[in-house]
A and B are shown apart, each in its own frame.
Chain A
Amino acid sequence: MRLDASRDILGEVVASVLAGVTDLEDPHVIPPAWPTVVELDWPLVGIPESAGGAGGTVADVVALTEAAARQAASVPLHETQLARSLLGAVGADLAPAVIAVPVDGRALTIDQTDEPTIDGEVAAVGWASVADHLVVAVEDQLVWLATDTDGVQIEPGVDVSNEPFDTVTFSSAKVQVVGDDVAVRALRNGAALGRAAALVGAAESAYRLTIDHVAAREQFGRPLARFQLVRAGIADMAAELELARGALSNAVDAHLDDRHIELRTGVALSAAAQTATLVLRTSHQLHGAIGVTREHALHRFTRRLWAWRDRAGSQRSWERRVGDLAATGGPEEVWSWFTSTGDGAA
């Protein structure tokens, strides 16, 4: 439950700093909220002070990401944090750079010489068009390069939440290798953990808006909240959110303790994505027509939920991974996972 402690400390701070942020007008320039985020050293949280970071743990990183998503803030915070933590001392003098982290480098190849280069195209990359650097998984190598390196071409796009969603092409682009397969796994696990946190944060806000709406809106002479079917929808969302928060908390513990990281991350992503799906449908349903207007705030959260479920490896691919681990491990192994889920469990 170390995540709860971080939530208590950071939740309100983030809410007050990012209150009032609006959707991006131009998704391909540095977001207006970014300088404040940088000034507060948030991109350096989770990185030891000895490596030029701001200290704190992955629990703080997750709490920040979740709280930022609760405000529907468009900032490349988690991506930059993750890249910085993987770069370690190598990237110590990079702040206040924006770093994007293409997770799906399956179509990329690396030419490993004294001056390694990479080739290929990677799509669906968040924030590449405003990034100063990229930290990329290529085969079993983690590499780092500036976005203005020769041979890097970025085709800007947007996702349904109007955040940058770009395609990056590399043609013999020079890179620096900063890690091996261990670092590649850390990138994938870290990205999925951050995505689970963001999904939970945005889903919580969509849920809170729904609570407010059904309490205030009257039909047939009474508030919507008095109708049983409406209440059933509320109960469904509340329970799913509780489940997703618990799974996220457990995944944070796994990262902190370096135990079953991939498994626990997959569980958290699966739970968060399933919760997002339910909250998307139910929050809109209970909002009625007002929820589909630009004027109402609901879309700021739901458009992000639509955009985010498959952004750090698809929900399906993570569920497949958990299934693969279970099938390979067998019943005894799965039972040992079950009985060791919880803080300090036996």
Chain B
Amino acid sequence: MSAMRQDTPEELAELRAEVRALIDTWRDRFTPRADAWLRGYDRAFSQALGDAGLLGITWPEEVGGAARSNRARLVVTEELLRAGAPVAAHWIADRQIGPAILREGSSELQQEFLPGIAAGDTTFCLCMSETEAGSDLAAVRTRAVRDGADWRITGTKIWTSQAHRSEYAYVLARTDSSGPKHEGLTEFILDLGSEGVEVRPIYDLLGEHHFNEVLFEDVVVPDRWVIGEVGGGWTQVTEQLAFERGGAERVLSTYLVLEELITAAGRDGRDLEPLGRLVSRLLALRQMLWSIASAMDAGEAPIRQAAMAKRLGTTFEQDLAESARYLFGVVPTPPDTSVSGLLGDALLASPGFGIRGGTTEILGTIIAREELPA
């Protein structure tokens, strides 16, 4: 494997300029919005990022990556988030499926999927949660049974964002029910075009369709699409979730609103104290994001810090939207690019911030476990 590049500040500044320039050439083709990493979908934009070498940026060059640092990935993602750019097509694959395949998958599996993800061509959704397995993820009931050289998967997944537009799904399924529930889980890749897959829409409170219910009826999955160890799914998925928590999307989902507040305060000079409080919080959170990326670059697994960043960051995202209403007298309206429309968009998306990717309560549990003696 090629050695990871330790990006210098100059190299990171160049990278940032490159990302901005690319976003600028696309500005007339997307509408900036809150929570765009879940809701803003444009495969062509993802492919443009892939062509520019901005996806899978931390992965080795042999699998289509750029062998750059996690700090470089932070630079790319925060510029995309600030712009409210349509990044949902690649976000999950770039953030967590690719890295999971890289950590746990065979070199054949890596070659089969990573170059396509890095190009923005191969899209993934996450089939983890089930109706009876939300925060209690180990309770999944979807079953995978060996069938010769293949597996057959049956079960129902829910809250699967963008499943209706994705080619592949990451699936957490039970391969052995004989032991404790944390054992006998396995991670699979599944082709959503396979026989026996049904995707049903779930409309969220904005009236939008990004969530789905995904039904598997005896869906055939080749054995080579097992990620890592059969039965090792719990350890692997826990690691996957820990790694994906500490990113900029846990702080910046409502950032467009803050920019409007800053502009308004510059105009009328009111409410500088609460604005300063928000900006202070924002900058302190960036220190955390930076420190998490740096720790990952040093080969550490900053699980505790990532849980803290998500818990604090998603609360900040919600506080920000509330401040716009209370302090600046913005009345939320249905989503558009006006201040009130941005606020409406942010507020209506905000309940999800503290739920997806590990609820605020689960994160508190993880933090307390780290802090308190056993």
Seen from chain A, the residues whose Cβ lies within 8 Å of a Cβ on chain B are 1, 211, 214-215, 225, 228, 231-232, 234-236, 238-240, 242-244, 246-247, 249-250, 263-264, 266-267, 270-271, 274, 316, 318-328, 330-331, 334-335, 337-339, 341-346
Q: Contact at B290–A324, with CB atoms within 8 Å?
A: no
Q: Complex: how many Å from CA A331 to CA B258? A: 8
Q: 23 A-B Cβ contacts within 8 A?
A: A1-B291, A211-B371, A211-B372, A231-B372, A238-B308, A247-B283, A247-B284, A247-B287, A266-B276, A267-B280, A271-B284, A318-B276, A319-B272, A319-B273, A319-B274, A319-B280, A326-B276, A334-B282, A341-B287, A342-B287, A345-B290, A346-B7, A346-B10
Find chain B residues with CB under 8 A from A215 CB. Answer: 372-373
Q: Contact at A316–B262, with CB atoms within 8 Å?
A: no
Q: How distant is B152 from chain A, measured CB to nearest CB, in Å?
A: 39
Q: How distant is A170 from chain B, measured CB to nearest CB, in Å?
A: 31
Residue B265, interface by CB 8 Å: yes
A235-B363, A338-B283, A346-B13 given; A330·B266 CB < 8 A: yes
Q: Contact at B262–A239, with CB atoms within 8 Å?
A: no
In-complex Cβ contact of A334 among B78, B279, B285 (8 A): B279
Find chain B residues with CB under 8 A from A266 CB. Answer: 276, 280
Find chain A residues with CB under 8 A from B272 CB. Answer: 319-320, 323-324, 327
Minimum CB distance partner of B372 in chain A: A225
Q: With a 10 A CB-CB cut-off, give which of B16, B262, B370 has the most chain A CB atoms.
A: B262
Find chain B residues with CB under 8 A from A214 CB. Answer: 372
Q: Complex: how many Å from CA A148 to CA B150? A: 91
Q: Complex: how many Å from CA A214 to CA B282? A: 32
In-complex Cβ contact of B294 among A270, A320, A343 (8 A): A343
Q: Contact at B16–A334, with CB atoms within 8 Å?
A: no
Minimum CB distance partner of B311 in chain A: A239
In-complex Cβ contact of A339 among B78, B262, B263 (8 A): B78
A323-B272, A326-B279 given; A267·B284 CB < 8 A: yes
Q: How distant is A226 from chain B, measured CB to nearest CB, in Å?
A: 9
In-complex Cβ contact of B15 among A263, A321, A344, A346 (8 A): A346
Seen from chain B, the residues whose Cβ lies within 8 Å of a Cβ on chain A are 7, 9-13, 15-16, 71, 75, 78, 82, 258-259, 262-263, 265-266, 269, 271-277, 279-291, 294, 305, 308, 311-312, 361, 363-365, 367-368, 370-373
Q: Contact at B287–A339, with CB atoms within 8 Å?
A: no
In-complex Cβ contact of B285 among A1, A243, A318, A325 (8 A): A243
Find chain A residues with CB under 8 A from B372 CB. Answer: 211, 214-215, 225, 231, 234
Q: How distant is A208 from chain B, measured CB to nearest CB, in Å?
A: 10
Find chain A residues with CB under 8 A from B371 CB. Answer: 211, 234-235, 238
Q: Complex: how many Å from CA A335 to CA B371? A: 33
A323-B274, A343-B290, A345-B290 given; A328·B284 CB < 8 A: no
Q: Contact at B280–A342, with CB atoms within 8 Å?
A: no
Q: With a 10 A CB-CB cut-off, give which of B271, B284, B294, B364 has the most chain A CB atoms.
A: B284
Q: A319-B276, A330-B263, A342-B290 are in contact. List 6 more A-B contacts (CB 8 A).
A: A214-B372, A266-B280, A270-B277, A323-B272, A327-B266, A345-B9
Q: Complex: how many Å from CA A228 to CA B372? A: 12
Q: Contact at A327–B275, with CB atoms within 8 Å?
A: yes
Q: How distant is A213 from chain B, measured CB to nearest CB, in Å?
A: 11
Minimum CB distance partner of B370 in chain A: A238
Minimum CB distance partner of A241 in chain B: B308
Find chain B residues with CB under 8 A from A235 CB. Answer: 311, 363-365, 367-368, 371
In-complex Cβ contact of B12 among A316, A323, A345 (8 A): A345
A267-B280, A343-B290 given; A239·B308 CB < 8 A: yes
Minimum CB distance partner of B365 in chain A: A231
Find chain B residues with CB under 8 A from A270 CB. Answer: 276-277, 280-281
Q: Complex: how many Å from CA A324 to CA B305? A: 30
Minimum CB distance partner of A263 in chain B: B283
A215-B372, A242-B308, A246-B291 given; A323·B284 CB < 8 A: no
Q: Complex: how many Å from CA A322 to CA B312? A: 20
Q: Contact at A339–B276, with CB atoms within 8 Å?
A: no
Find chain A residues with CB under 8 A from B82 CB. Answer: 335
Q: How distant is B318 from chain A, measured CB to nearest CB, in Å?
A: 15
Q: Contact at A250–B78, with CB atoms within 8 Å?
A: no
Minimum CB distance partner of B14 in chain A: A346
Q: Complex: how many Å from CA A253 to CA B271? A: 29
Q: Contact at A271–B280, with CB atoms within 8 Å?
A: yes
Find chain B residues with CB under 8 A from A249 CB. Answer: 287
Find chain A residues with CB under 8 A from B276 CB. Answer: 266, 270, 318-326
Q: Contact at A243–B280, with CB atoms within 8 Å?
A: no
Q: Contact at A331–B259, with CB atoms within 8 Å?
A: yes
Q: Contact at B12–A346, with CB atoms within 8 Å?
A: yes
Find chain B residues with CB under 8 A from A232 CB. Answer: 361, 364, 368
Q: Contact at B277–A337, with CB atoms within 8 Å?
A: no
Find chain A residues with CB under 8 A from B367 CB. Answer: 234-235, 238-239
Q: How distant is B249 from chain A, measured CB to nearest CB, in Å?
A: 14
Q: Contact at B285–A326, with CB atoms within 8 Å?
A: no
A211-B372, A326-B265, A330-B262 given; A236·B290 CB < 8 A: no
Q: How distant is A259 from chain B, measured CB to nearest CB, in Å?
A: 12
Q: With a 10 A CB-CB cut-off, give which of A247, A341, A346 has the most chain B CB atoms.
A: A346
Q: Complex: how many Å from CA A337 to CA B356? A: 28
